Amino acid sequence: MLLEWLDVHSFRNLSGRIFWGGGLNIIYGDNGQGKTNWLEAIYLLATTKSFRTQKLQESIRFGEDLAVVRGRVAESAEVHRELSVALQGNTKAISVNGKREAVARYLSQLHTVSFTADDLEIVRGTPEARRKFLDRGVVALHPAYVQTLADYNRVIKQKNRLLQDASELEMSLEQAAEIIAPWNEQLISLSAEIHRHRTDYLQRLIEALERRLFEREEVTIRYVSSLESKGDLSHYEALISERLQLRLPAEINAGYSLIGPHRDDLEILFDGRDIRAFGSSGQQRSALIILDLAAISVYYSWHNEYPLFLIDDVDAELDRKRIGYLLEYLEGRTQTFITTSKESFVEQFVARANVYQIQSGAAVGSEPEKEAIRSAATTSESI
């Protein structure tokens, strides 16, 4: 999988088209010029989402009402696809080769793994960040899983509304159970599907972990179900059905759902200790990189091709020793995009990279871009 070029209109401060090289791409420039915006545009093209905001309308350039990100992906020398994401107000339109596409099918077209400051929440933040990490990995293998998550969130939202009503109206337990039962039935099957997909993906991650890539300490991970120690997790549907019945009074009293995989977590240990509490900043970054590389390996084993790897502000997040190990590991595997504001970093790795200097949101003087323009001109002359 190779992203050949990216063309951007009114997304953040970006403008123009960049032709990317295979292997390592370094996006270089002063702070505030738009380096991270180019990574965000790549991420948007792949996921239809941003890694910086949940409100995509915030990414449309001020004074404009439409932003468009387009790119061409090469699956092989003969097979290419043009992807497009258009943002207008609160709506977005996605297409493949000029034709509108459903989200589940679109998400199978291009995949990224990212390492950003926000992604560090996976190793030191809330359980929600870790659940999202797992869910992104599952979607990469099973794009239709995105609909399972949407259905689950819809059911939880409706159930929460009914639980709140039951609490405020002081319904009897029998009345509340009657109106909530249909939603719990959906919840049971959707929860079982989510649990099955997450635990299967976790096992694949465990098998792919390069546990000691950077440090002497070993990274280990474990899925922590909120139903753990409540019964036999191998019979998940029966167990969650039992817990939903048992905990209904408590859910009514709380006014929201207390049972389900939206309360699960991913345990990350560094040499046997919880990395959130005992890991240093460097160890947390190392652990996240190790998880990302495992995600890349799992994707490759499933699809027989590598995803794109995005690393924002690499020299601020990793020291030079870790960066060296990382780039050595990635060489010959992924098409990697790294941002930096330091000339010394560019000078150190320029021999093995394609370098793009960004000024005011546009690339200036990149060699792959010049070569693409020369190639296009030669083709035009020959015709």
- And the tokens for 243? 């817990």
Residue 369 confidence (pLDDT) = 46
Last residue within a domain, chosen from 278, 304, 330: 304
Residue 324: pLDDT band (50, 70, 90) is confident
| Same domain flag for 132 and 260 | yes
Residue 52 confidence (pLDDT) = 87
| Same domain flag for 88 and 183 | no
Tens of pLDDT, residues 337-355:
999 988 888 888 888 899 9
Short-list 291, 335, 355, CA closest to 110: 335
117 domain residue, yes or no: no
120 domain residue, yes or no: no
| Same domain flag for 139 and 212 | yes
**Average pLDDT for 155-169:** 93
119 domain residue, yes or no: no
| Same domain flag for 91 and 131 | no
| Same domain flag for 311 and 263 | no
Last residue within a domain, chosen from 274, 304, 334: 304
| Same domain flag for 130 and 271 | yes
Total structural domains within the chain? 2
118 domain residue, yes or no: no
| Same domain flag for 297 and 319 | no
**Average pLDDT for 168-197:** 94
Residue 283 confidence (pLDDT) = 85
Last residue within a domain, chosen from 304, 336, 358: 304
- The alpha carbon dihedral of 283, 288, 293, 295 has a sign of positive
Query: Which structural domain, as residue segments, surrounds residue 209?
Result: 125-304
| Same domain flag for 197 and 294 | yes
Residue type at position 50: S
174 domain residue, yes or no: yes
Residue 213 confidence (pLDDT) = 63
Tens of pLDDT, residues 262-285:
999 999 998 888 999 888 888 888
The answer to whether 354 touches 367, Cβ cutoff 8 Å, is yes
Residue 302 has pLDDT above 70, yes or no: yes
| Same domain flag for 172 and 235 | yes
Q: What is the CATH number of the domain that holds 102?
A: 3.40.50.300
Q: Which long-range contacts (CB under 8 A, 24 or more apart) does 219-222 make?
A: 219/268, 219/269, 219/270, 219/275, 219/286, 219/287, 219/290, 219/291, 220/268, 220/269, 220/272, 221/266, 221/267, 221/268, 221/269, 221/291, 222/266, 222/267, 222/269
Query: What is the pTM (predicted TM-score) of this model?
Result: 0.87
Q: Output DSSP code: residue 11.
A: B
| Same domain flag for 331 and 243 | no
Question: Where does 15-119 have alpha helices with state H?
Answer: 35-47, 103-106
Q: What is the CATH number of the domain that holds 277?
A: 1.20.1050.90
- The alpha carbon dihedral of 255, 258, 259, 261 has a sign of positive
| Same domain flag for 148 and 296 | yes
| Same domain flag for 313 and 299 | no
Rounded to 5°, angle at Cα 355 from 358 and 8: 45
232 domain residue, yes or no: yes
Q: What mean pLDDT is reported for the chain?
A: 89
